[in-house]
Amino acid sequence: MGLFDYLKKKFSKNEDEKNIKPVEEQKVASMKSPVENVDKSLSSSSVEGKEKIKDNTQEAYARGMKKARKGFMYRLKSLTSIFRKVNEEYFDELEEILIEADVGTELTFRIIDEAKQDAKVYNIDSPEEINKLVVEKMFEGYAQSGKSVSPDLNFVNNGPTVLLMVGVNGGGKTTTIAKLANRYSKAGKKVLLVAADTFRAGATEQLGVWAKRIGVDILMGEDGCDPSSLCYDGVRKAVNEKFDLVIVDTAGRLQNKTNLMNELAKMRRVIGKIIPEAPHETFLVIDANTGQNGIDQAKVFKEATPLTGIVITKMDGTSKGGIILAIRDKLGVPVRFIGLGEGMNDLKEFDLDEYLYGLLLVEEDED
């Protein structure tokens, strides 16, 4: 079964089951995260509660990816109305659409080359068929370029789990920390935030406001104090006071790699003095709007510190949805969460099917 048929079947099956027509009200087939369950239903274990959560996830992807969908799928479709048969020029246009969607040049060239070969071997000259083929190749590549990891945080059995958040200025680290803290505190976890971005004036205060709003603890130092010693105090506090999760905010500056490497290495070292396996998770936050620049930043961070996951933010603000594919192709680090809006509940676990459905197919039911 091709990708389009698979997605249509998966999502329309739910629609039939629930007997609800508009895509906004469709339900997703299976609950993926017990945590998300608690998050949205606020301790409701009823079927109705669960359906609301599934609904919310699919709706969030559909809404959050609208711009990307318009930028990518609409363009693909419009090509089919211009060309009646596929030729060299058609492939050039396809190539441009993929590159402009931030799929990345190398991956794009590979996909187009393979599609050209298949077109020749199987004698395909219909633009619709070629579009399907190209999209399938894009996502086959995703599945092949890294092992699949559960997006949810891996909590350790004993003691606090430590999550280090890294990324360049303005990418969305602090907001994402707030969203994660909210998610896990609603799931019953005792959460501590460590405001280790002591470099940017006001960063500590920003996190402090979030902590208060969400109702979680926070450890703050003076602006300009040593972030590593704050990390040390934070993790020690978390162990002594039996916290489940420590999330460390870090400064977003990236003046040069050596500097970044030294600072992150020092933070890891002091955290490791208290819990040798920690930090258990290190997430790199990337703004979906940054395109190739974002990939280049990600490479620098990957060399500076071991990463266990990537969070793509501001997907709702970009007309280029392909950065996720390029990241997977270039870095092989799994995308764990995706930011689909500014609201506290707009950070979702990354789910390839939801993403694809949001990018490729929802428009069949709207407008």
Ligand X SMILES: Nc1nc2c(ncn2[C@@H]2O[C@H](COP(=O)(O)OP(=O)(O)OP(=O)(O)O)[C@@H](O)[C@H]2O)c(=O)[nH]1
197 lines the binding site for ligand X (CB under 6 A): yes
Of 109-117, 184-192, 260-268, 309-317, which part binds ligand X (CB under 6 A)? Answer: 309-317
The amino acid that residue 263 corresponds to is: E
174 lines the binding site for Mg ion (CB under 5 A): yes
Alpha-carbon torsion angle 10, 16, 17, 21, nearest 10:
110
Among Mg ion, ligand X, none, residue 342 binds (CB under 5-8 Å by kind):
ligand X
228 lines the binding site for Mg ion (CB under 5 A): no
Residues between 254 and 293 that touch ligand X (CB under 6 A): 285
In contact, 236 and 162? CB cutoff 8 Å: no
CB 222 to ligand X: min, Å? 17
CB 327 to ligand X: min, Å? 16
Q: Which of 104, 227, 234, 252 binds ligand X (CB under 6 A)?
A: 252
SS (H, E, C) 134-168: HHHHHHHHHHHCCCCCCCCCCCCCCCCEEEEEECC
Q: Give me 268's structure tokens.
A: 């890891």
Q: Count CB neighbours of 60 within 10 A.
A: 22
Compute CA distances 222 → 84, 120, 169, 200, whole Å: 65, 65, 19, 11
Among ligand X, Mg ion, none, residue 267 binds (CB under 5-8 Å by kind):
none
Of 27 and 173, nearer to Mg ion (C-beta) is: 173
Of 3-11, 75-83, 158-166, 167-175, which part binds Mg ion (CB under 5 A)? Answer: 167-175
Residue 32's closest CA among 359, 336, 361, 334?
336
In contact, 116 and 89? CB cutoff 8 Å: no
137 lines the binding site for ligand X (CB under 6 A): no
Of 94 and 196, nearer to Mg ion (C-beta) is: 196
Q: Which of 170, 188, 215, 332 binds ligand X (CB under 6 A)?
A: 170
Of 5 and 205, nearer to ligand X (C-beta) is: 205
Q: Which of 203, 231, 286, 361 binds ligand X (CB under 6 A)?
A: 203
Distance (Å, rounded) from C-alpha 249 to C-alpha 227?
10
Residue 340's closest CA among 327, 353, 321, 326?
321
Cis peptide upstream of residue 160 (ω within 30 degrees of 0):
no
Q: Which of 56, 182, 305, 313 binds ligand X (CB under 6 A)?
A: 313
The amino acid that residue 104 corresponds to is: G
Q: Which of 167, 291, 322, 358 binds ligand X (CB under 6 A)?
A: 167
Of 90-98, 130-138, 149-157, 172-180, which part binds Mg ion (CB under 5 A)? Answer: 172-180
Number of shown-chain residues binding ligand X (CB under 6 A): 21
358 lines the binding site for ligand X (CB under 6 A): no
Among ligand X, Mg ion, none, residue 51 binds (CB under 5-8 Å by kind):
none
Q: Which residues contact residue 336 at a Cβ distance below 8 angstroms, ignoring those fewer than 6 apart?
A: 149, 151, 152, 283, 308, 309, 310, 311, 349, 350
Q: In what order do the strands lie in the sheet with 245-250?
A: 217-219, 191-196, 245-250, 161-166, 281-287, 309-313, 335-339, 347-349
Which residues are near Mg ion by CB under 5 A? Answer: 173-174
Which residues are near ligand X by CB under 6 A? Answer: 167, 169-175, 197, 200, 203, 252, 285, 313-314, 316-317, 339, 341-342, 346
